[in-house]
Structure 1
Amino acid sequence: MPSYDARAIANEFIRRNGPHINQMKLQKLVYIAHGWNLAINKAPLIAEKIEAWDGGPVVRKIWNHLRDYGRNASDGLLADPFDSSTPYKAKLSDDEVAIIEHVWKKYGDYSGIELSEMTHEPGTPWSNAYFGGGRNTSLSQDDIQQHFIELALAGRDKAA
């Protein structure tokens, strides 16, 4: 499975939420979808590194795009800055769409701050990177994958 431009995955959540989703929430949903895809489909969802910023996991490419261009498509999506009629889009597999739907259903009602608090818990990939390597350190893909596998196993134990 390919890794996609993070802005295309961000657009998946903008389509579900509408254009008024704030950057913090958008960043966390992309990170969470990436984590669940690593755990379930055993492949990265996005091509970019995820960094440990003060506010939690951040994909710099999304942050920079919103800072420099905003939501430059007419429907509030992130689009090519040189052709705003072309929003970033990923040709997702059915398994990848299922991950995005799962993340939206499970986490879509949380605010950006609530999602950020979830990522700041001790032992999370963000806290391991932030306190182990410092601000803006990249989160380890292996750490992200293991964290979401543990979340899946904990959820399975609760259901049993």
Structure 2
Amino acid sequence: MHDARAIANEFLKLNGGSMNQMKLQKLVYMAHGWNLAIRNEPLVSGRFEAWDGGPVMRSIWNHIRDFGFSTVNGLLGRSVDKPFEESLTPEERGIIEHVWNKYGGFTGLQLSQMTHQPGTPWTNTYFGEGRNQPLSNDDIKQHFTELALAGRRATA
């Protein structure tokens, strides 16, 4: 498992170094979900929480909370010249690129709305267990597996 801030940096790099926090949070969440569904293992350490705006990784939020809804400029790091980085496998990079190609064109609000659909891990947790409660990796895996199966059926 990787530091979520390093995975966020991968998406920041793909977007030229800037992105608003909501979009960044949702892309990391989606990469984590697809990794669970495809590779049967978490991509990031820590737990996503069911915040009002959708799934949020607290380590990312804590690192860039001062930006609020503004755009994050530059990579997340311990300092300006020490960004969070991880060694990723080719499969993990492939999932990040898949998520970017599939969801990178959406706004943070659009991605948040996707996570708020009935039956999603966020909806199940937010309305079942309460606000800011952790999402279950089992629920996230099941949801993204169902998305993959639905996609296969649609192309068959």
TM-score relative to the length of structure 1: 0.92
Q: CA deviation at 1:90?
A: 1.2
Query: Structure 1: which 4+ aligned runs deviate by more than 4 Å?
Result: none
Where does 1:9-24 land on structure 2 (aligned, <5 Å)? Answer: 9-24=7-22
Runs of 5+ unmatched residues, structure 2: none
The structure where strand makes up a greater share of residues is 2
Q: Deviations over 1:40-78 (max 9, x none)?
A: 0111000011000000000011011002599xxxx7000
User: Which letter does structure 2 place at the counterpart of 1:152?
Assistant: A
> 1:65 maps to which residue?
63
The separation in 2 between residues aligned to 1:8 and 1:140, in whole angstroms, is: 21
Asked if residue 45 in structure 1 is aligned to residue 43 in structure 2, the reply is yes
The separation in 1 between residues aligned to 2:132 and 2:88, in whole angstroms, is: 29
Among candidates 119, 130, 135, match of residue 134 of structure 1: 130
Q: CA deviation at 1:110?
A: 0.2
Q: How many residues align?
A: 152
Structure with the bigger RCO (C-alpha within 8 Å, sep 6+) is 2
> 2:148 maps to which residue?
152
Asked if residue 104 in structure 1 is aligned to residue 100 in structure 2, the reply is yes
The separation in 1 between residues aligned to 2:84 and 2:64, in whole angstroms, is: 13
User: Which letter does structure 2 place at the counterpart of 1:148?
Assistant: F
> 1:113 maps to which residue?
109
Runs of 5+ unmatched residues, structure 1: none
The structure-2 alpha-carbon separation of the partners of 1:108 and 1:69, relative to structure 1 and needing over 3 Å to count, comes to closer
TM-score relative to the length of structure 2: 0.94
> 2:4 maps to which residue?
6
